[in-house]
Amino acid sequence: MHTTRRRCFTTPAALAMSSILGGCAWLPTSDDTPRARSCTNAVVDEKFSGPAGALIRGVPYFRTLQQALDAVPDQHAHGVWRIAIRKGRYREKLEIRKSNVHLIGEERESTFISFDAYAGQTRPSGVGTWTTYGCATLTVRAPGFAASSLTIENSFDYLSNDAKSPTDPSYTNDPQAVALMLASGSDKAVLRNVSMTGYQDTLFVDAGRSYFRDCCVSGNVDFIFGAGQAVFEACEIVSRPRRKPNVAPHGYVTAPSTQLQERHGLLFLHCKLIRENAQVPANSHALGRPWHPAVTFPDGRYADPNAVGSSVFIECFMDDHIAEVGWWSMTGLQKSGPTRTVFLPEDSRFFEYRSHGPGASKPGNVKRRQLSSADAARYTLADVFSDWKP
């Protein structure tokens, strides 16, 4: 038995949140076209043809998100700057460097921020490649970011590349393609009713604290990863297919690089782990593997020994595409010599509690460590976020 889904969809709980963030919403007009409430600071509409920043009903309008972000003033630092986004597909590669910017989409299924950069792609300047750290469609480098009712996607054609032979001149060995990156400087990010779509490395939560509610994250290889402290509550985690023949496992849901001094990394509460379609086989996707990124130390550059990843699943539904073994190993750059170090999942902080569904652990499976009720009770929003209440 499995749950087949072709794409992320809006749950009833998410519908209640649709187009709402911080008390602001899209309101209908007499001609059934929505308009932003007065608490909106700017509107982005791909059909807008006037000059950037022209006022309509007292609100500045822009055709692109970049124009709207460029117009965010510095002096709002202790308030919130809300940008309402009309339905459309905005092909833009964006960075948010100002605090407390909120993006409010008109509808998750029809409001897209999309770009197709990938790690191995040459930068527009012709110097170097994007790398995993630079290829994101949307990168956040400031605190207080929030988003609702929209989709952030990396549209790189991963499957076509995956089907190619490595000897094909057009093949890339660096197909990582990030949709959303929460980078250094990001903290207290909140996403509600947002889809993040890609294949390898979809969501890079590399810094700060973040909260995802009623969201959907889809991908195949390491598609939720990084060193940040992130809580996913009532979210859909959708595994997507591969085209490369004879690859096992097909994918990994998480690849945390949590620093050892941090008590928490990636925490999933009451989420659904499902497959996108029947092309995702049973027993094909691991819950995660330990990522030890290469770091430059005084004695050389090698896999960070302090990146002891944490991925914890609490009372989550798991379809049968989840691998029976649960977790997988991962290699990292060795301190000396050309060989790579193998990092084992049992040396990381990988746990489950009351998983259910066809992909849940069977009795006696020692590979999938289970939390006690007392231990599970300590995985709360308050424990992860301390003084912050998202």
Supply the residues annotated as catalytic: 201, 222
Residue 134 vs residues 23, 129, 157, 176, 204: alpha-carbon distances, Å: 33, 8, 18, 10, 11
Distance of CA 143 to the CA centre of its chain: 17
Distance of CA 230 to the CA centre of its chain: 10
**CB atoms near residue 9 (< 10 Å):** 13
Q: Quick check: bond before 249 cis, omega within 30?
A: yes
Judge residue 298's burial from the number of C-beta atoms within 10 Å of its C-beta, 0-12 exposed, 13-18 middle, 19 or more buried: exposed
Distance CA 199, CA 30 (A): 41
Distance CA 109, CA 149 (A): 8
Q: What count of residues does the chain have?
A: 390
- Asked if 240 contacts 301 with a C-beta cutoff of 8 angstroms, the reply is no
**Angle at CA of residue 274, ends 226 and 186, nearest 5°:** 25
Residue 78 vs residues 71, 81, 98, 248: alpha-carbon distances, Å: 17, 10, 11, 49
Instruction: Name the token pair of 329.
Output: 């190993």
Distance CA 212, CA 221 (A): 20
Neighbouring-strand partners of residue 42: 83
Q: Which has the closest alpha carbon to 195: 155, 251, 161, 242?
A: 155
